[in-house]
Structure 1
Amino acid sequence: MEIQKRNKTVHIILWIAQVLLALMFIMAGTMKAFQPIEALTESLPWVTTVPEGLVRFIGISELLGGIGLIIPSAFRFKPFLTTWAALGLAVVMVFAAIFHAVRGEFSAIGVNAVLMAIFLFIAWGRSKKAPIQAK
């Protein structure tokens, strides 16, 4: 009984993390993928220092990763893709931390590290602790 209750708690915590991060990355990814670069410079000044194609690639990666955190598990269609989306976004956070370190923006690395840890928690939780079964 106690193990089942703990698994339910982990399941709920995972869903909360998945939904919040999915919303965050769908929004951020959509902005980077589709907004004009000039509009992005107000909130993301670094976009003028890298090729536009890289900004769009990052945006599409974040958008697809955010969608992948929710859709496969919610519809129980290939829910293992949620684990892969979380791992993919963890890799994006590693590259983001490296990017910020190279630019001397060390204060931003903490956010990347926390997000990476949450993505790894989601990947672990959905693959080992509280997996969702396909229909």
Structure 2
Amino acid sequence: MEIAYWIVGGLLAVFYLYAGGKKVAQSQEQLQPMMGWVDRVPMPLVRTIGVLEVLGAVGLILPPLTGIAPWLAVAAAAGLVLIQVGGIAVHLSRGEARLIGLNIGLLVTAAVAVWLGTTWL
């Protein structure tokens, strides 16, 4: 279970560090081609989502790695599940049901991380 958690948690962390870092650092115009929804969401909210994604990525790795409050990894994974629920809701509200495949995959992967974290940590 430990190895499975590190694989799942590591992959999620890499994805969310990248995606969250882009949301934090790039302008609306730079994000628009990759994330069409940023035109209807205020940039402070986009930045907040980015910060939460980066914190979630750090939370998946740092607590179990250091052994300090490893339960935070489960909380981080649960938070990432909630971010994807929000992402699915945004896509569905925009009539973009065909675009929720990545969101569903990330939601399931984060849910697996929650499960692995509760069985291993």
TM-score by length of 1: 0.84
Identity of aligned residues (%): 36
Q: Which amino acid aligns with 2:120?
A: A
Gaps of 5+ in 1: 1-9
Q: Distance in 2 between matches of 1:94 and 1:78?
A: 26
| Correspondence 1:111 to 2:102 | yes
| Correspondence 1:90 to 2:90 | no
- Kept in 1, the 8 Å contact 2:4–2:116? The answer is no
| Residue 45 of structure 1: how far off its partner (Å) | 2.3
Match of 1:130 in 2: 120
| Correspondence 1:75 to 2:45 | no
What do residues 103-129 of structure 1 show as CA deviations (whole Å, max 9, x unaligned)? 1111222221221111111112111x2
Moved more, 47-56 or 83-92: 47-56
Q: Distance in 2 between matches of 1:49 and 1:25?
A: 22
Q: Which amino acid aligns with 2:27?
A: P
Q: Distance in 2 between matches of 1:41 and 1:110?
A: 19
Number of residue pairs the alignment of both structures matches: 121
Q: Distance in 1 between matches of 2:33 and 2:23?
A: 12
Q: Which amino acid aligns with 1:98?
A: A
Moved more, 108-117 or 80-89: 108-117
| Residue 20 of structure 1: how far off its partner (Å) | 0.8
Match of 1:22 in 2: 13
Gaps of 5+ in 2: none
Q: Distance in 1 between matches of 2:19 and 2:40?
A: 18
Larger CA Rg, structure 1 vs 2: 1
Q: Distance in 2 between matches of 1:113 and 1:45?
A: 18
Q: Distance in 1 between matches of 2:76 and 2:89?
A: 20
Q: Distance in 1 between matches of 2:84 and 2:34?
A: 18
| Residue 39 of structure 1: how far off its partner (Å) | 1.4
Match of 1:5 in 2: none
TM-score by length of 2: 0.94
| Residue 26 of structure 1: how far off its partner (Å) | 0.7
Looking at both structures, which has the greater relative contact order when contacts are Cα pairs under 8 Å and sequence separation is at least 6?
2
Q: Which amino acid aligns with 1:75?
A: T
Runs of 4+ in 1 over 4 A off after TM superposition: none
